[in-house]
A and B are shown apart, each in its own frame.
Chain A
């Protein structure tokens, strides 16, 4: 069965430190997609990235970078030079095809990141 594991429940860092959030997934599909979302204290989830299973290139967007490794079924997220505004819960998710040919998201339990000044 499809599953997403975020083993880090909470991480606490001091501003300007680099931090990596781990995501390990399980799927039998050969084609799948992985997502990262950010949930700030306001509660609304914010989309960060989508990556398909055929593209293992690392991606960088400003201070954010993602490392996708199919060999270890991992899709880790690194924040460089963290800032207080990065404090949030971060969710990793896996797309799964379900009845009707449409996709749904399987979410991990989330990692709460606290960045202290």
Chain B
């Protein structure tokens, strides 16, 4: 089945530790995204990648880093510089966008990160 997988589902981290969240898609999509969701708030864009080896900062990139070495994979690292990392993280992908043509994004099941 085609889709997006994220692992782990739940992640606990001690303060000061870096953690990496996995996101894999087998939809052959060019674009991939990372969002953060806090209770009672909508999704906020962390990072975005249109093609392999290229990515752009979203609205709240500070304290996060990403890589895009393969088309299928877009891991997110939450660094110790992120002051309030406890949140629900969602990865998404889309066929790819051009000006004026936003394609629907397909989402993974999410990773819930808790800082202890």
Binding partners A and B: yes
Minimum CB–CB distance for A91 against chain B, Å:
6
A44 and B110 form a contact (CB under 8 A) = yes
> In the assembly, what is the distance between CA of A101 and CA of B54, in Å?
15
With A100-B50, A101-B98: A109-B104 Cβ-Cβ less than 8 Å: no
B40 and A109 form a contact (CB under 8 A) = yes
Chief secondary structure at chain A's binding surface: strand
B102 and A107 form a contact (CB under 8 A) = no
In the complex, A45 has a CB within 8 A of chain B:
yes
A105 and B109 form a contact (CB under 8 A) = no
Instruction: Report how many residues on chain A are interfacial, defined by Cβ distance under 8 Å.
Output: 28
Chain A residues packing against B (C-beta within 8 Å): 4, 9, 31, 33, 35, 37, 42-47, 50, 91, 93, 95, 97, 99-105, 107-110
A–B complex contacts, Cβ < 8 Å, 6 sampled: A45-B105, A97-B100, A104-B58, A105-B45, A105-B102, A107-B44
Given contacts A44-B107, A97-B99, A105-B102, 20 further A-B contacts (CB under 8 A): A9-B40, A35-B102, A35-B104, A44-B109, A45-B43, A47-B104, A47-B105, A50-B104, A99-B56, A101-B98, A102-B48, A102-B50, A102-B99, A103-B97, A103-B99, A103-B100, A103-B102, A107-B42, A108-B42, A109-B42
